[in-house]
C-alpha cells in the first residue's frame, strides 16, 4: 500500500515547471559549492596560522 501511494506521488511531479528546474540546478551544484567554500576557509585558516607563526 505504501509503495502504491509513493508511486502515485511520483507520477504527479511536474518536472517542466520553472521552480522544479531551478531547484534541480541548484541542488546539483550545491554540494560542489559547499566543498569549495569549506576548502577555501581551511586554506585561509592555514595561511593565517603560518603568518602568525612567522612573526
Q: pLDDT (tens digit, 9 = 90+) per residue, 24-39?
A: 999 999 999 999 999 9
> What is the number of H-type helices and E-type strands within the chain?
2, 0
Give the pLDDT confidence score for residue 5 in this predicted structure.
64
Pseudo-torsion of CA 14, 15, 18, 23, nearest 10°?
110
Within a domain: residue 12? no
Within a domain: residue 42? yes
Threshold 0.75, pTM exceeds: no
Domain that holds residue 27: 19-55
Rounded CA-CA distance 52/34 in Å is 27
Domain count, the chain: 1
Within a domain: residue 53? yes
Give the CA distances from residue 29 to residues 4, 7, 32, 35, in Å, rounded to whole numbers and listed in that order: 32, 27, 6, 10
Within a domain: residue 1? no
Within a domain: residue 27? yes
Within a domain: residue 5? no
Amino acid at each position: 500500500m505504501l509503495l502504491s501511494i509513493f508511486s502515485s506521488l511520483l507520477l504527479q511531479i511536474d518536472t517542466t515547471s520553472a521552480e522544479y528546474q531551478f531547484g534541480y540546478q541548484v541542488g546539483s551544484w550545491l554540494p560542489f559549492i559547499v566543498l569549495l567554500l569549506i576548502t577555501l576557509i581551511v586554506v585561509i585558516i592555514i595561511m593565517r596560522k603560518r603568518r602568525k607563526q612567522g612573526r
